[in-house]
Amino acid sequence: MTNDWHPKPGDKFVRLPRTKAHPLRRVLGVFSLFSAGYGNVGSSIYYALGLVALVALGATPVVLLIAGIFFIFTALSYAEGTSMMPEAGGSASFARHAFNDLFASTTGWALAFSYIVTIAISAYAVPSYLGYFWSPLKDSAMVGTFAAMGIVFFLMCLNVIGVKESSILNSIFAVLDVVTQLLIIILAILFLFNGDILIQRITGYWPAWPELIFGIAVATIAYTGVETISQLAEETKRPTVNAPRALVLMMVVVLLLFSGVAVAGFSAMTPLEMASEWARDPIAGIAYGLNAVIVPEEAAAGLSSNPEIAIVIAALLGGLLDFVPILVAILAATILLIATNAGLMGISRLTFSLGRFQLIPLALSAIHPRFKTPYRSVIIFALIAICLLIPGFFASNIFIHLGGLYAFGSLLAFALAHASILRLRIKQPELPRPFKVKGNIKIGGHALPVTTILGLVATTVIWVIVLIMQPYARWVGFGWMAFGFIVYFIFRRRKNLSLTQTAPEIKVSVD
């Protein structure tokens, strides 16, 4: 099919020569990238711990560890891909270079779905934490769901008008979050940890095999946001070096903190308590458990035999225990709000990139003439996220359903990302790779990374498990992908573009 599309007078898009200067300012360093990525990945523990416990019960720490290993594989693949092609789009960009536009569109549509679900599930968790100050936000499904919808709508309006993401603010909250989680872990280990009780709570509440396997799939939601750093590649200084470093740093910090928080959670409460009363706000449950179990005077006596010093320690510890639940409520709600907003901003960046390469209808990437924001995509995808929250008014299992939906979209995108890295090793072995995954095996004369192969197999198998065990995720997910293909097919045919061949790159113009 010939490729004779040309912009018409009044179109929002003009042809972008390959030699044109980069349209975005490169201002982000390693720590700024880490903060943005951790703000998304780190925020997920505030709801993922309880969500996983709903399915996996006592096996929660184990399945989080297994999912963490898969997270390492995925992060390494993204590090190699981003160093090769530092452009917005993430896994969709990898697929476009490795395969063709049809693969890229499929990957981008799956990625957009995971962003939408991230928006919905992050907003859904906010009212539970704020329930510390007003109980109906946590206890009433009607109030909590309505509040979550209001959060998404409010942030939608902000993003239409134009809200700038502050790397300084991200950095401040990332540091505060790390410090808070470390504080919780230290307090739990010092005063609550008991190896025998921990093992009993794991083995005594061990789930059946189907729940264990599905728990691993759901546990992947704990590592949502690995795509964030790749999406920011075009705004990064020395992206071929800084983006992989930020990904590796985020990978190490997240795995250490999540492991510690899981141990703290099982030290403070039983798996059944985490899966019921504290499912939507598990970190608040840990803070409550610390406050309920630790007796400052007894704890202080165990730390010091000097009565005068023990009195001082007891006073400081008592004040700290009273403050921790308040800090967790405020910090969790704030970070989850930032994660919700980051999902909306991620959608806008993704659609901007997909529109640039003509992988979605140009109208979705249109820029508002006054606010200079991709307002159509923000509004459409925010409203879809609000629709996903509607079952919260009457369905008690909405939390698991949202987890299944996220696993559907993210695992599909991750699997295609792994496949793209392997394909690029075969298709373009000479392509510069500032960050190259080590531990390769020779297949057909090509050096293929073991972690990427294992990542592809693992994400594909878990994705299939989600399809089998979650009818809701299966039908909603396939419905979304089918709708995306129909939209892509009609758009490309109307523009007289091939479904598979690479279309010319264009850019948004607001002049």
User: What per-residue confidence (pLDDT) applies to 5?
Assistant: 46
Please report whether residue 141 resides in a domain.
yes
Q: In percent, how much of the chain has pLDDT > 70?
A: 91
pLDDT digits (tens, 9 = 90+) for 385-398: 999 999 999 877 88
Please report whether residue 274 resides in a domain.
yes
pLDDT digits (tens, 9 = 90+) for 25-46: 566 778 888 877 787 787 888 9
Please report whether residue 449 resides in a domain.
yes
Helix (H, G, I), strand (E, B) or coil at 138: helix
Confidence of residue 1 (pLDDT cuts 50, 70, 90): very low
Residue 123 burial (CB count, 10 A) = 30
The angle, 0 to 180 degrees and rounded to 10, between the axes of the packed helices 450-469 and 60-84 is 130
- Return d(Cα 322, Cα 456) in angstroms, integer: 46
Q: Which residues lie closer than 8 Å to 24 by C-beta, 6 or more apart?
A: 234, 235
Please report whether residue 9 resides in a domain.
no
Cβ(502)–Cβ(6) under 8 Å? no
Q: What is the CATH number of the domain that holds 307?
A: 1.20.1740.10
Q: What is the dihedral of CA 401, 269, 209, 473, to 10 degrees?
A: 10
pLDDT digits (tens, 9 = 90+) for 427-438: 999 888 888 888
* Total domain count, the chain: 1
- Return d(Cα 281, Cα 45) in angstroms, integer: 9
Question: One-letter amino acid identity for 320?
Answer: L
- Return d(Cα 334, Cα 43) in angstroms, integer: 10
Q: Which domain holds residue 61?
A: 27-505
- Return d(Cα 441, Cα 457) in angstroms, integer: 15
Please report whether residue 22 resides in a domain.
no
Please report whether residue 18 resides in a domain.
no
pLDDT at 185 over 80: yes
User: What per-residue confidence (pLDDT) applies to 167?
Assistant: 60
Please report whether residue 17 resides in a domain.
no
pLDDT at 455 over 60: yes
Please report whether residue 168 resides in a domain.
yes
What is the arithmetic mean of pLDDT over 361-380? 81
- Return d(Cα 289, Cα 268) in angstroms, integer: 5
CA distance to 163, 372, 376, per residue, from 159 (Å): 5, 10, 11
